[in-house]
């Protein structure tokens, strides 16, 4: 019992001495532009902000990945939209606590993600892929018109259905490959921002 009491007193005295030396040392350096204590506080704040930024960015990355899966695998546009909205919310949180250089990168990414959200819902194609999609859609329409003619045999009708189904699959692949590219670009940008931390 006596040993424990003595040991506790020794620890207390030691902590008081160390605290006193730290305060004295900090007071001596007060004449310098930045005290040791201030540097420690600044370092802690920077570290906390970086950790908070990283947490938000990782959450955003998880939701972007989930959105891609929901859209391209589960084919659930509405769920993908909710995931993208969550990702955007986390990016906005990250932007609020990030250092200026990281904040700038995040602020460029948010509009791209909003654009991807619209594209996810509409699955609207652009440029050449849009023209290809239009022509394939027209081909499907013509096939279905042919399918509904009276004098077409059952075997031909079956072949028309198969071809129409293949065309529909091709159209979806074109749409999805465009969206997959967009998701990959967003993920690459997110990874690059994370590496800046």
- The residue with tokens 């995931």 is 83
Q: Name the CA radius of gyration of the chain, rounded.
A: 31
What confidence tier does 66 reach under pLDDT thresholds 50, 70, 90? very high
**106: closest CA among 117, 93, 95?**
95
What SS3 class is residue 160?
helix
Range ranked top by mean pLDDT from 19-33, 67-81, 112-126? 67-81
Torsion, Cα 29 35 40 41, to 10 degrees, reads 140
pLDDT of residue 39: 63
C-alpha separations of 30 from 19, 25, 41, 74 in Å: 16, 9, 15, 62
pLDDT in the model for residue 38 = 64
User: Which of 86-100, 156-170, 180-194 has the least mean pLDDT?
Assistant: 156-170
| List of residues 6+ apart from 120 with CB closer than 8 A | 67, 71, 77, 80, 81, 84, 179
For the stretch 28-64, pLDDT in tens is: 444 454 576 666 655 555 566 678 888 999 999 999 9
Terminal Cα-to-Cα distance of the chain (whole angstroms): 51
pTM of the model: 0.59
pLDDT at site 165: 86
Kindly provide the b/e burial profile for residues 98-112, where b requires at least 16 CB atoms within 10 angstroms of the residue's own CB. Answer: beeebbebbeebbee
Write the pLDDT tens digit of every residue in 109-148.
999 999 888 887 765 444 446 677 778 788 888 888 887 8
Instruction: Give the pLDDT score at 6.
Output: 43
Chain-centre distance for alpha carbon 146 = 46
**Is 175:88 a contact under the CB 8 Å cutoff?**
no
Question: Is the distance from CB of 29 to CB of 36 less than 8 angstroms?
Answer: yes
Per-residue pLDDT tens over the stretch 148-163: 888 888 888 888 888 8
């Amino acid at each position: 019992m006596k040993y424990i009491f003595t040991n506790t007193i020794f620890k207390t005295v030691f902590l008081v001495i160390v605290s006193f030396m730290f305060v004295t040392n900090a007071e001596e350096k007060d004449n310098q532009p930045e005290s040791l204590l201030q540097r420690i506080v600044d370092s802690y704040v920077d570290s906390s902000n970086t950790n908070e930024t990283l947490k938000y960015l990782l959450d955003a990355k998880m939701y972007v990945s989930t959105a891609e899966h929901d859209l391209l695998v589960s084919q659930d546009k509405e769920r993908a939209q909710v995931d993208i909205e969550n990702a955007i919310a986390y990016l906005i949180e990250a932007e609020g606590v990030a250092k200026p250089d990281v904040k700038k990168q995040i602020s460029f990414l948010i509009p791209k993600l909003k654009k991807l959200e619209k594209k996810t819902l509409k699955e609207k194609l652009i440029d050449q892929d849009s023209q290809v999609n239009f022509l394939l859609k027209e081909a499907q329409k013509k096939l279905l018109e042919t399918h509904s003619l009276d004098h077409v045999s059952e075997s031909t009708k079956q072949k028309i259905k198969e071809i129409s189904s293949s065309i529909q699959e091709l159209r979806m692949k074109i749409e999805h490959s465009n969206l997959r590219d967009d998701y990959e670009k967003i993920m690459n940008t997110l990874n690059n921002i994370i590496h800046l931390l």
